[in-house]
Amino acid sequence: MKISKVAYQVMWNRLISVVEEQAQALVRTAFSTSVREAGDLSAGVYNDKGEMLAQAVTGTPGHVNAMADAVPHFIRRIGRQNMFAGDVYITNDPWEGTGHLHDITIVTPSFLEGQLVGFFACTAHVTDIGGRGFGVDGNSVYEEGLYLPVMKFADKGEVDSTLVQMIRGNVREPDQLIGDIYALVTCNLVGDRRLQDMMAEFGLTDLSGISEFILDNSRSATLECINALTPGVAEGAMRIDGYAQPIDLKVKLTIEKDRILSDWEGTSGVDKKGINVPLVYTKAYACYALKCAIAPDIPNNAASLAPFEITAPENSIVNALHPAPVALRHIIGHMVPDTIFDALDKLLPDRVPAEGAGCLCNFQLQLRPRRDAAAPPEARHAEVLIFNSGGSGARPTIDGLNATAFPSGVMTMPVEATEQVGPVIIWRKELRAGSGGAGQYRGGLGQFMDVGAAEGHEFYLQAMFDRLAHPARGRHGGMAGAPTLIAQDDGTAMRGKGKQFVPHGRVVQMGFPGGAGYGKPEARCRDAVRRDLAYGYITSEQAAEDYGLSEDEIAEILSLASSGADF
C-alpha cells in the first residue's frame, strides 16, 4: 500500500508525541530530585538500525548526541541474534552512554510479530551511584562509583536478580536507585505501547518508510540551513578555572558545503580530578550550540545531527579516555557552547550571545549533627543537592537572562521544598545587583546565595563552581560579567571546587557569576540604563562609571524608583 504524504506528516508528529509521553512517564515515577524536579533526563525512539528518529525535548542538551550514539553501542555489544521480546538493556558507561556514571541509560528493543522493528532508549541522572559520591574528588572513574557495562537488565522479561543485588549492595540509596531504574524501564514500555498502536493504525510492518521520510526531510532541511551560510574557517578560545590549573578550550570551526566541522586541537589535557569530559558529551554541547545558532527548529534525529562533525585529540580534557575521572564533566561541557560561539561570531556576525555564566552553579551539602559540642537529639544526617544558575550572556539585540541556565535547561528547586528535605537554611537567594557585564545590551545578572545549617548541625559543602578567576568575557565592546565569589560569613576563604567543611553556626556566602555584555556601554539606550538603576539591576557606581549618568540623574531616578514609579 502506498502511504500518503499526509500520513507520514501525521506519523512524524506522532513519534515526537510518543517520546514526550515516554519522558512524562519517567518524571511521574522517578525518585531522584535531579529527574523529577530538575528535568535531568531524556527519551528517544530509534529504527532497527539504531538511528534515532525522535527525541523528547527535555532540560539536557548534553544527552542530545549521546543518546543518538548510544543505541548502536547496545546493538554491537549485545548482538542482534541475542535480542528478544521482553529484553531490557542497561548501562552507565560514561563513554558509551551520556558522560558519567550518574547517568543510567536503558534501551528496550521493540518487536512486531517476532520482527525487531526499533528501539526505545531513555536516560536519567540518579542522585547516587556509590563510590566517593557526586563530586570532583575522584582520581579515576573507578573511585566515582559502580560501573554497569552494556548488558541485559532483563532477559525475555526476566529481571537479572544477581545484577539487582550487585547494584543494591554498591550504592547509598538502593531503594531509590532501583526505583529509578524501574521508572526508566516503564518509560520505554509506555513508548513501545504507543508505537505498536501507531503501526497498527497505519498498517505498517516496519519503520523503514517513516524513517526515510523523517531522515530525508531532516537532512535536507539541515543542509539547507548550513548551505545558506558563507563557507569559512574561524578559531575560538576560552580560558576557565579548571581544578589544578587553568584550562584552555580551543576550537577550529569550518563551515563548508553540507557540513560544519569543529576540531578541538590545542585544548588542555586531562585533569587529575573529575572534571574531564568524554567526547560524546563534548559532541552533544558543541552540536547543541551550533543547532541553536543555525538550525533551531529542526528536531533532533540521526540525520539532523550528522552534518555537525566534532573531533578532539585523545586525552585532551574534551576527549578524556577511560579511566579518567569524569563525574563533573558538566562543568567543562557547559563551557563548550561559549567556546563555539567565540568562533562562530567571526563567521556569522550578530547571531550569537556574549559569554555567560556557562556551567550550572550546583552544590551538594552533607549535613550532620554538630560534633564540636553536644548536638540536640533531633539533629540528623542529610544529603541535599541544589541546582542554581548564573546570568546568561547578552544577545546581539537583547539583554542576557537573569539567573537562568544556559546551555543547560534544568530547573532549580524551591527553597521551601529544599528546607523540608534537610536541616538547611537558605538565608538569601536573590539577584546579584551589578553582576551583569555592561554593554549596549547588558549581561544577565547572577545571584547571591547564603546557605547555613539549622541549629545543632554542621556540614560539608561539595562545591562545583567555575569562573572565580575567569569571568564571562564581553563581545564587541561589551564588558565582562562578575566572577564567582565564595567565602564564609566570618571571611574564611573557600575553594570553587571540592568538598569543604563548614563549622556549626557559619554561613557560606556565594555570588554566582553574571553574563557578559554585548556592544559598547555608551550605546545603551538611556531608558534601559534608567530602568536598570531603578530596578537595582545595576549599582549607582556602575550607572556613573560604565554608563555615564550624572550624580543628579542617579539621585532623581533612585527617588522616583523608591516611590514605585513606572520605568
Residues 209-238 that bind other proteins (CB under 8 A): 217-218, 221, 224-225
Q: Which of residues 537-566 bind other proteins (CB under 8 A)?
A: 537, 561-565
Taking CB under 8 A as the binding criterion, the range among 70-78, 186-194, 229-237, 501-509 that sits at the site for other proteins is: 186-194
Rounded to a whole number of angstroms, the minimum distance from the CB of residue 126 to other proteins is 11
Rounded to a whole number of angstroms, the minimum distance from the CB of residue 104 to other proteins is 16
Q: Any contact of residue 428 with other proteins (CB under 8 A)?
A: yes
Residue from the set 375, 411, 507, 544 that interacts with other proteins by CB under 8 A? 411
Looking at the Cβ atoms of 339 and 402, the one nearer to other proteins is 402
Residue from the set 158, 175, 314, 556 that interacts with other proteins by CB under 8 A? 175
The number of C-alpha atoms within 13 Å of 337 and in the hemisphere containing its C-beta is: 29
By residue count, the chain amounts to: 567
Rounded to a whole number of angstroms, the minimum distance from the CB of residue 320 to other proteins is 26
| DSSP 8-state assignment for residue 316 | B
Q: Which residue has the cell 531522584?
A: 32
CA distance 267 to 286: 14
Residue from the set 143, 248, 383, 419 that interacts with other proteins by CB under 8 A? 419
Biggest distance spanned by C-alpha atoms of the chain: 81
Q: Where are the beta strands (DSSP E) in 317-423?
A: 362-369, 382-386
Taking CB under 8 A as the binding criterion, the range among 22-30, 70-78, 113-121, 545-553 that sits at the site for other proteins is: 22-30
CA distance 183 to 124: 10
Looking at the Cβ atoms of 21 and 155, the one nearer to other proteins is 21
Taking CB under 8 A as the binding criterion, the range among 73-81, 133-141, 242-250, 417-425 that sits at the site for other proteins is: 417-425
Rounded to a whole number of angstroms, the minimum distance from the CB of residue 33 to other proteins is 7
Number of residues this chain uses to bind other proteins (CB under 8 A): 93
| Cβ count within 10 A of residue 170 | 16
Q: Which of residues 496-535 bind other proteins (CB under 8 A)?
A: 534-535
Decide the pairing of beta strands 259-263 and 424-431: unpaired
Looking at the Cβ atoms of 267 and 412, the one nearer to other proteins is 412
Cβ-based neighbours of 448, under 8 Å, separated by 6 or more: 428, 429, 430, 431, 432, 509, 510, 511, 512
Rounded to a whole number of angstroms, the minimum distance from the CB of residue 62 to other proteins is 12
Percent of the chain that is helix, strand, coil (3-state, to 5)? 35, 25, 45
Kindly list the strands in the beta sheet with 41-47, ordered across the sheet, starting from the edge strand earlier in the chain: 52-55, 41-47, 115-125, 103-112, 88-91, 151-155, 158-159
Looking at the Cβ atoms of 184 and 270, the one nearer to other proteins is 184
CA angle 180, 334, 23 (to 5 degrees): 30
Which whole-number Å values give the CA distances from 208 to 200, 213, 501, in the listed order? 15, 9, 57
SS3 46: strand
Residue from the set 88, 284, 306, 405 that interacts with other proteins by CB under 8 A? 405
Rounded to a whole number of angstroms, the minimum distance from the CB of residue 221 to other proteins is 5
Q: Which of residues 446-475 bind other proteins (CB under 8 A)?
A: 447, 450, 454
- Reading the block at residue 169, the C-alpha cell is 549492595
Q: Any contact of residue 17 with other proteins (CB under 8 A)?
A: yes
Per DSSP, the residues of 257-311 read TTEEEEE-TT--B--SSS----HHHHHHHHHHHHHHHH-TTSPPSHHHHTTEEEE
- Reading the block at residue 298, the C-alpha cell is 529542526
Q: Which residue has the cell 532483563?
A: 154
Q: Which of residues 280-319 bind other proteins (CB under 8 A)?
A: 291-293, 296-299
Q: Which of residues 123-152 bind other proteins (CB under 8 A)?
A: none
Residue from the set 111, 112, 160, 179 that interacts with other proteins by CB under 8 A? 179
Q: Which residue has the cell 579516555?
A: 321
Rounded to a whole number of angstroms, the minimum distance from the CB of residue 323 to other proteins is 31
Q: Which residue has the cell 543547560?
A: 408
Q: Any contact of residue 21 with other proteins (CB under 8 A)?
A: yes
Rounded to a whole number of angstroms, the minimum distance from the CB of residue 21 to other proteins is 5
Rounded to a whole number of angstroms, the minimum distance from the CB of residue 340 to other proteins is 12
- Determine the angle formed by the axes of helices 5-29 and 174-202, rounding to 10 degrees: 160
Looking at the Cβ atoms of 114 and 564, the one nearer to other proteins is 564
From 75, 115, 112, select the one nearest 192 (Cα to Cα).
112
Q: Any contact of residue 13 with other proteins (CB under 8 A)?
A: yes
Q: Any contact of residue 427 with other proteins (CB under 8 A)?
A: yes
Rounded to a whole number of angstroms, the minimum distance from the CB of residue 517 to other proteins is 16
Rounded to a whole number of angstroms, the minimum distance from the CB of residue 257 to other proteins is 19
Q: Any contact of residue 59 with other proteins (CB under 8 A)?
A: yes
Q: Any contact of residue 190 with other proteins (CB under 8 A)?
A: yes
Q: Which of residues 331-390 bind other proteins (CB under 8 A)?
A: 351-353, 387-389
Q: Exposed (0-12), middle (13-18) or buried (19+): which is 564, by Cβ within 10 Å?
A: exposed
Give the N- to C-terminal CA distance of the chain in Å, as an integer. Answer: 64
Looking at the Cβ atoms of 11 and 332, the one nearer to other proteins is 11
Q: Any contact of residue 430 with other proteins (CB under 8 A)?
A: yes
The number of C-alpha atoms within 13 Å of 402 and in the hemisphere containing its C-beta is: 15
Rounded to a whole number of angstroms, the minimum distance from the CB of residue 392 to other proteins is 9
Q: Do residues 252 and 265 make contact, with C-beta atoms less than 8 angstroms apart? A: yes
Binding-site string for other proteins from residue 244 to residue 283, where x marks contact by CB under 8 A and - marks none: ----------------------------------------
Looking at the Cβ atoms of 56 and 317, the one nearer to other proteins is 56
